Structure formats: C-alpha cells, structure tokens
Homo-oligomer: A and B are copies of this chain.
Amino acid sequence: MEIKVLTNILKANEAIAEENRQLFSENRLLVINMISSPGSGKTSILEKTIELLTSDIRLGIIEGDVQTSKDAERINALGVPVVQINTQGGCHLDANMIKMTLPDLPLGEVDCLIIENVGNLVCPANYQLGEDMKVVVLSVTEGDDKPIKYPTIFRESQIMIINKIDLLTFTNFDMATAKEYALQINPELKIFEVSCQNGQGFDKWINWLASKIKNSSAL
C-alpha cells in the first residue's frame, strides 16, 4: 500500500520532470541537480564556481531549502539570477516545484542552470527534476564510508565532488577508500576533489564544467 502510493507520486513527478526537460532542451540549457548532506558545502562550491567560470558563461541558480533564503542571498550577492524554494518541511525538491519557479528565471539568457537540492543524502535521489545530470557532494569530514551507506545517490550521479580536502589531515577520511566505495557503486562516476577554503582542485572542475556547458549550449 505504502509502496503503491510512492510509485504513483514518482510517476506523476516523472511526467512533470519530462516537461521541464523539454523546456530546458529548447533553451539549450545544461541543468545540474546538486545533492549532498546538509553542510557538505554545496553553496560554497556554487559561490566558487560562479567566481571562477569565465564571464561568457551565464549561470542561473535554484536554491532548495527547508526554510530560510540564506543560500539565495549568498548567490544573489554575486549578481547571478537565483530563485529560492522553501519546502516548508519537505525533504527534497520535486519536478513541480522546479516547474513553478521557472517563470521567475530568465531561461533564454542562461547557459547552465544549477539546482541546489535540500540537504539530504537520501530522498532527493528518487526525484527527477528534468536535469541532465546529478552531482553528489561528499565532504571529507563526513567519513569515507558514505557511498556504501547511502548508495542510491552515488549510483544516480554522474559526478562526485569531494569537498573540504583542506581538512583531510585532521580527519580519518581515506581518499582511496572513499573512491573505491563510490566506484564500486557506480564505475562511471567522475570524481573531482576540491577545497572551497583554498581553491585547490577547482581548475579541473571548472574546466570540465565549462566544456560541458559549451557542448550543450548555444555558446
């Protein structure tokens, strides 16, 4: 009974995600759904990405949070178009929430839309938003065992960003173990290691992202 309800909700969600996907495709937008635990550094990665991407690439951001517009305020301060979704207790974004916010974004003037999901390593993995790819963020302070403990999101993602590598020496996080677990779940996963504190590793992520955006967009 409970599973049936869940299936129906997911099917209804998938239909709207498909509408979003078509709209994104018409606008030649690369769309990224960024997912992690609370506090893994999604907003900090966005801030750094906005700072480092060349100015000919135009970003748009959707911020998902249970409460507050703090993240949208951080992005807005950088002059990037941003919309905040507050789920009011909801544990994930769904396709309809995205659909409702799209009229507030200048889609025709954007090359890449990044959606920062609610901080949650479990539920957002099951809800398609119409994105081209999911990016999962894991910070080293969370421990190297997370890929096998929360496998769905690592299976669903194309990219894993390992954040806070400046804190590596202060933790018992083993980089080789984390990667091994993640690749065991998803052998196709592309992995970037970064630090928002000192900028380490961002060159590779930015180069890869810029080339991906240029392939999808009218640039």
Residues of A within 8 A of B (CB): 2, 5, 9, 37-40, 65-68, 70, 89-91, 118-123, 126, 139, 141-143, 145-146, 148-152, 164, 166-167, 170-171
A149–B68 touching, CB < 8 Å? yes
CB distance from A16 to the nearest CB of B (A): 14
Which of B5, B67, B118, B150 has a CB less than 8 Å from the CB of A119? B150
Residues on B with beta carbons closer than 8 Å to the beta carbon of A145 = 68, 70
A122-B123 contact, Cβ under 8 Å, with A145-B70, A148-B67, A170-B167: yes
One complex includes copies of this chain to the number of: 2
A143 to B123, CA, bound (A): 21
A120 to B90, CA, bound (A): 12
| CB nearest to A150 among chain B residues | B66
A142 to B89, CA, bound (A): 19
A151-B66 contact, Cβ under 8 Å, with A38-B37, A120-B121, A146-B39: yes
A143 to B74, CA, bound (A): 14
A156 to B45, CA, bound (A): 31
B141–A67 touching, CB < 8 Å? no
CB distance from A94 to the nearest CB of B (A): 10
User: Other than the known A5-B5, A39-B146, A166-B170, what 15 A-B pairs have Cβ atoms closer than 8 Å?
Assistant: A2-B9, A65-B149, A66-B149, A66-B151, A68-B145, A68-B148, A89-B126, A91-B91, A119-B121, A119-B150, A120-B120, A122-B123, A123-B123, A141-B141, A141-B142
Max chain B C-beta neighbours (<10 A), residue from A2, A66, A150, A171:
A150
Residues on B with beta carbons closer than 8 Å to the beta carbon of A148 = 67-68, 70
A38-B170 contact, Cβ under 8 Å, with A67-B150, A91-B91: no
CB distance from A190 to the nearest CB of B (A): 21
A90 to B164, CA, bound (A): 28
Which of B9, B68, B120, B139 has a CB less than 8 Å from the CB of A91? B120
